[in-house]
Amino acid sequence: MRARFLTIAVFTASLACSGVSAVAAAPAPGSTDARFVQMAHQSNLAEIAAGKDAQKNATTTCVKQAGATLVSDHTKLDAELAALAKKGDVSLPGTPTREQQATLADVRSKAGSPDYDKAWLMAQEAGHTKTLTLIDQQISQGKDTETTTAAKKARPVVAMHLDMVRGGTCHST
């Protein structure tokens, strides 16, 4: 037992001296990092669905354009998450959460009216606020370097979306 411990200690010390890191290369299934990937993926799915819905049902050009931006940006962000999930053998949910689906259904029930645009903007503000909290938790507590890097890359995009729906020109609708 002592010899095995000594071998592990020597190996670890040699890694440290050589500058090689023992950091994981992808989120491990069941880890906090994997949970972030799964939850962020569901948020992306929700934002893509909401963006497409806005393009179809909004009454103002501004909300329709905001929807197009969400579809484009969240599709790109999700491609990176999907690659991380595949690399780490993390299974991804196929749909947004029930809460996200219910929110979109509620907004969709107002389709074609000015109430739709207001409800859509409020839902996007709430969703992007939650996503920023999720991202910030990953940045401060994540263990996997690649996953945390993806969160750091997504943060300014999600923050820009929040600014766009919170106080942008669309809010005067």
20: Cβ–Cβ under 8 A, 6 or more apart, which residues?
none
- Please say if the pLDDT value at position 162 is more than 50: yes
Looking at residue 173, its pLDDT comes to 47
- d(CA 4, CA 2) in angstroms, rounded, equals 5
Residues in the chain: 173
The predicted-structure confidence for 109-130, as pLDDT tens digits, reads as follows 999 888 999 999 999 999 999 9
Structure tokens of 46?
Answer: 């929700």
DSSP state of 30: T
Looking at residue 171, its pLDDT comes to 61
